[in-house]
Copies of this chain bind each other. A is one copy, B any other.
Amino acid sequence: MESNVTPDAFGANTLLIKQLLEAGLARNPSQEIVCGDAVRFDYAELSRRIGRLAAGLASLGARPGDTIAVMDWDTHRYLECFFAVPMAGMVLHTVNVRLSVEQLLYTINHAKDDFILVNTEFLPMLEAIWDRVEPGKQLVVLSDAASPRETRLPIAAEYEALLAKSHPVNAWPDLEESARATTFYTTGTTGLPKAVHFSHRQLVLHTLASRAALSGPGAGRFNHDDVYMPVTPMFHVHAWGLPYVATMMGVKQVYPGRYVPDRLLTLFAREKVTFSHCVPTILQMILDSAAVKGQRLDGWTVVIGGAALPQSLARAAMGWGVDVFAGYGMSETGPILTLAQPRSGRSDSPSDQEVAARCHAGWAIPFVQLRVVDDAMKDQPRDGNSPGELVARSPWLTQSYLGDAQASQALWRGGWLHTGDIAVMDPDGCVRIVDRLKDVIKTGGEWVSSLQLEDILLKHPQVQEAAVIGIPDPRWSERPAAIVVLKEGVVLDADTIRSHVKTFADAGAISKFAIPQEVMFADSLPKTSVGKLDKKLMRAQQAKLVGAA
């Protein structure tokens, strides 16, 4: 059969991360990269430093296929690793420095890291586990201090010295686009951390699709004249992939190091930052700091992800001038699946509806297909009122959990990636997350959203905190149980709480099956290390109580 590919044409046909750097460099070689207060250089120098890093790692014995772990704050060095490591055919392991040391140990050994590039601030974490880290890993320290911290660990090199003595690589290998570029661990609420992974091709396509979704006129946009500052850790799903988008566009980039709200505000003002992204907690910290300083935040577009964006927080941020909106995704999805970019409305005096619209998961970005399905993978109506599990397809979703075929198959059952989130879809395609699948309570043939029920409980003026879990029930499958923390000095009985919920059930806001039979009062609610309600623990405690009864 006739071949329609000319042999010499092959090499031009791959999608590689180096092309993202080349695009930005070609477009804007004198554009700035800023890190904190002391570092400032241009894209031409970024490109040289990336070449030096690759050469430096090679001089230490790093080879294509090796895994290079990084433990750092959001710095220019991390950005350099985002490019140099995969461009050299190695795998970047973005280590979550907020893991427990046991989890850290597990991930470093599981990833088979060959090198660990570690900010000296995180050396104590490594020292605590080093005797159980599998041998053969080399350490490169990252530090801005003149005399780095003393350590008993064997240090192979210091980052800046390594770069200084290395001649930049300038001919990068022509890799397969399916070559693995990154890996990192997602800590579910059950079991050990699981390793997701992304190829050059996947990261390039995530970059192009995010660029297509984000750019253009109006609110909620990221364009070539923006100034970018990530406020999401770079170990969190590639800082949502946006450093790659920023670099491809050739925009000015500002790296804040460790997040200190005051410093973030200083960088925002001094560097004229216009586009960032963070979790709701960080946004709240920024607003609190802005309130103390009396500093307006006009002209700052901020995407919120990682957790639901509360409407009260969105309204407060808009009050300070922030063009805020939510996005949705997860470690397994690269991460961006949807964005809730505002389509209309004023940002200076938004209606409740306009605020709410910015807090949904939003619309699928190009090349993302989303479905809301029932247990049998049947599509739910797009009526904004029929919950089901959100499942996704796109060309950049992780193809497996490394070394865990069973979890991989569960993730991908039926050929769709299962998000584990319960969503409804509006007629116009807007997605709203209503709950985590495992937090949905199946009772009397109905799905009751524990999130919605918690919201209702919190509307009671005497309730400080509330959590809802499902407890097994022979007749109803499950029934909802509420754990309530009352405001200081308040006394209330379970019937009052049930009556409160019944008002909403009577009004049709929630199923009558949602009225909790069990209402328990507590002094506080258990939380996970990232501040989420620890429902796993609550269920276990509840089971113990029930078992003991």
Which chain B residues border A411 with CB–CB below 8 Å?
6
Interface residues of A (CB under 8 A from B): 2-15, 19-20, 22-23, 26-27, 29, 180, 197, 205, 208-209, 211-212, 215-218, 223-225, 248-249, 363-364, 366-367, 369, 393-395, 397, 399-400, 402-403, 405, 408-409, 411-417, 428-429
This chain: copies in complex: 2
Which chain B residues border A29 with CB–CB below 8 Å?
428-429
Contact of A429 among B26, B397, B403 (CB under 8 A): B26
Q: Check A363–B26 contact: CB distance below 8 A.
A: yes
Q: Check A397–B224 contact: CB distance below 8 A.
A: no
Q: Check B217–A395 contact: CB distance below 8 A.
A: no
Which chain B residues border A4 with CB–CB below 8 Å?
180, 197, 399-400, 402
Given A12-B416, A400-B5, A400-B9, answer yes or no on A216-B225 (Cβ-Cβ < 8 Å).
Answer: yes
Which chain B residues border A13 with CB–CB below 8 Å?
395, 399
Chain B residue at minimum C-beta to C-beta distance from A413? B8
A219 to B26, CA, bound (A): 20
Which chain B residues border A403 with CB–CB below 8 Å?
2
Chain B residue at minimum C-beta to C-beta distance from A204? B367
Which chain B residues border A215 with CB–CB below 8 Å?
211-212, 215-216, 223
Best-buried of A13, A225, A393, A414 by chain B (most CB within 10 Å): A13
Q: Check A417–B12 contact: CB distance below 8 A.
A: yes
Contact of A409 among B6, B216, B223, B367 (CB under 8 A): B6
Chain B residue at minimum C-beta to C-beta distance from A24? B366
**Minimum Cβ distance to chain B for residue A534 (Å):** 29
A29 to B364, CA, bound (A): 14
Q: Check B6–A412 contact: CB distance below 8 A.
A: yes
Chain B residue at minimum C-beta to C-beta distance from A369? B22
A363 to B393, CA, bound (A): 34
A225 to B19, CA, bound (A): 28
A413 to B408, CA, bound (A): 44
Given A6-B411, A393-B11, A399-B4, answer yes or no on A27-B363 (Cβ-Cβ < 8 Å).
Answer: yes
A248 to B9, CA, bound (A): 28
Which chain B residues border A417 with CB–CB below 8 Å?
9, 12
Contact of A8 among B216, B217, B414 (CB under 8 A): B414
A375 to B211, CA, bound (A): 38
Best-buried of A6, A211, A217, A249 by chain B (most CB within 10 Å): A6
Which chain B residues border A22 with CB–CB below 8 Å?
369
A357 to B494, CA, bound (A): 75
Best-buried of A15, A20, A215, A248 by chain B (most CB within 10 Å): A215
Which chain B residues border A218 with CB–CB below 8 Å?
225
Q: Check A399–B9 contact: CB distance below 8 A.
A: yes
Chain B residue at minimum C-beta to C-beta distance from A405? B6
Which chain B residues border A205 with CB–CB below 8 Å?
15, 208
Q: Check A366–B19 contact: CB distance below 8 A.
A: yes
Which chain B residues border A416 with CB–CB below 8 Å?
12
Which chain B residues border A6 with CB–CB below 8 Å?
399-400, 405, 408-409, 411-412
Contact of A12 among B9, B23, B394, B408 (CB under 8 A): B394
A225 to B215, CA, bound (A): 11
Which chain B residues border A397 with CB–CB below 8 Å?
9, 12
**Minimum Cβ distance to chain B for residue A379 (Å):** 12
